[in-house]
Structure 1
Amino acid sequence: MFAGTASAGPWPRDKGKVFMSLSLESDREGNSYTGLYSEYGLTARNTLGFELGYTNVGETSVMIWLQRRLDSGEGANRLTYSTGFGAFLRNGEAFPTGQAGIAWGRGFEKFPGGGWVTVEAKIKVAGKQQTVVYVENLTRTEAVFLTPEVTTKIEATLGLRPTDSMMFINQLRLEDRRDAAFSAKLATSLVYDWQGLTKLELGVITPVSGPGETALKAGTWVEF
């Protein structure tokens, strides 16, 4: 079961299985983020992840993480924790990054076709940035696509599967950044199963409070 868009969530990938997602997020100010996300099932309890990101406002990032299942695999509830390390490149300078997270989730069948709910909390810390956080001439909106020194996120996801070929995903994103005010966003996506292994995603991300602009998201998922 998918645990949200581009997120391992609390369901480890099956051993030897691969999941990949390529997505583009762009706001109405023309700022964008392109991300490549992948998961690989190492064992029944461990999933290895890789993320590569690029923004049009001057940053490239990479992150490798390991997720471990904490629950026994029995019952409805799932619980995992994860740790990761990486770096980002901005204006020719490289900065290290690290992250840690914990996720809970469970599936349900009361809705026709079934669904799932997850809550994931994550903290990400970057190396001390000697240069200013904002590249010259960037607005506050553009800066949210750049990595701050400390970010804390909580994401709550509700996914519904009304048909075998369609998923409807709502995600509330809460984010506290050292370089900006607290923000809340609602991300809504429709995912369509196309030709078996491939899924197409189209969604909109709407600010509820704090900085940010409405953004569109498009992507494709592949698993094998």
Structure 2
Amino acid sequence: MRLFAIFTLFFISVSAVHAGAWPRDKGDLFIAAGGNFLLSNGAELPVHYDPTVYAEYGLTDRITLGLDFYTADKGRIASGFTFVSVPVGSLKLKNRASVSVGYGYRLNPDTSTEGLMRLGLSVGRALDKGWLAADASATIGLQDTTWRPKADFTWGHGWSNRWTSTIQLQTGQGYYNDDYAKVSPTIIFSLNERFKINLGAVKALTGDGGSALKLETWLRF
């Protein structure tokens, strides 16, 4: 149980894209904001400044509500979602899973807006000093009726109460139906239980092969 509690804390501190396989505790509010900086020359797709704002709230022990705002495709696309995530099965299992459903809007390059639906599946497994996780989702535009998938694969390792490292492979399909892949190593420093700083890098494995540093701040209330 102690190992599970430590692992849950680590996972909460790095889950800034999806609710993940572990739900928020009841009454727990998490807010993340950040983006990329110091882009390499010519970096446009799939790595750009990519600012994001993300929030989760534990409505109950099994229901997590969230907001997800971000830009993509060289800043030409802006999307915002509200979502709900629920775990599958017992909350005491070492191997965990959750499903989510979201609704939102996308601002397209021609300044038109389009409604979106998003379905998600997350799975994870606790390790002795870390975790493995896979977060998959797919969005469909209510006008263009095109499914666009996304999947992130994460390995995290806790070095101490203050330091955690992660390596993540990010894959998916962009607005123009271009497949992309990026790798992102990060270091997380915990100032205290409520405030954490994430400093890392991101490198495109497709497209123009660009890279950048990234910085995010995470708050828990």
Q: TM-score band, normalised by the shorter chain? A: 0.7 to 0.9
Larger RCO of the pair (alpha carbons < 8 Å, separation 6+): 2
The correspondence for 2:36, drawn from 25, 33, 43, is 25
Identify the structure with the greater strand proportion: 1
Matched AA of 1:40: Y
Say what the alpha-carbon RMSD is for the aligned residues.
2.2
Pick the aligned partner of 1:37 from 29, 54, 65: 54
Deviates more, 1:162-171 or 1:82-91: 82-91
Q: Identify which of 63, 73, 79 aligns with 2:81.
A: 63
Alignment of 1:57-206 (within 5 A): 57-90=75-108, 91-109=110-128, 114-128=129-143, 149-177=146-174, 179-206=176-203
Q: Which deviates further from its counterpart, 148-157 or 17-26?
A: 148-157
Partners of 1:12 and 1:25 lie apart in 2 by 27
- Partners of 1:212 and 1:149 in 2: CA distance: 26
SS for the counterpart of 1:10 is: coil
2:193–2:220 contact (8 Å) kept in structure 1 = no
Report the alpha carbon displacement of residue 181 of structure 1 after superposing the two structures with TM.
Answer: 3.6
Which whole-Å CA distance do the structure 2 matches of 1:189 and 1:40 have between them? 24
Write the letter of the residue equivalent to 2:85: Q
Moved more, 204-213 or 18-27: 204-213
What is the DSSP-based 3-state SS (H/G/I as helix, E as strand, rest coil) of the residue aligned with 1:32?
coil
State the 1:75 CA deviation.
2.5
Q: 2:213 matched to which residue of 1? A: 216
Pair 1:52 & 2:66 matched: no
- Richer in helix (by share): 2
Tell me the matched-pair count.
202
Distance 2:27 2:75 in 1: 36
Cα displacement (A) at 1:51? 1.1
Q: 189-198 vs 179-188, which deviates more?
A: 179-188
Q: Deviations over 1:83-128 (max 9, x none)?
A: 000002244321111110111112121xxxx101111211111243
CA distance in 2, matches of 1:215, 1:149: 30
Contact 1:181–1:211 under 8 Å retained in 2: no
Offset from partner CA, 1:158-217 (integer Å, 9 cap, x none): 011101001101111121346244322211111100143100011111123455521321
Structure 2: stretches of 5+ with no match in the other structure: 1-7
Q: Contact 1:102–1:120 at 8 Å: present in 2 too?
A: yes
Contact 1:150 1:178 in 2 (8 A): no
Q: Larger deviation: 67-76 or 30-39?
A: 30-39
Unaligned runs of 5+ in 1: 130-147
Q: Which residue of 2 aligns with 1:136?
A: none
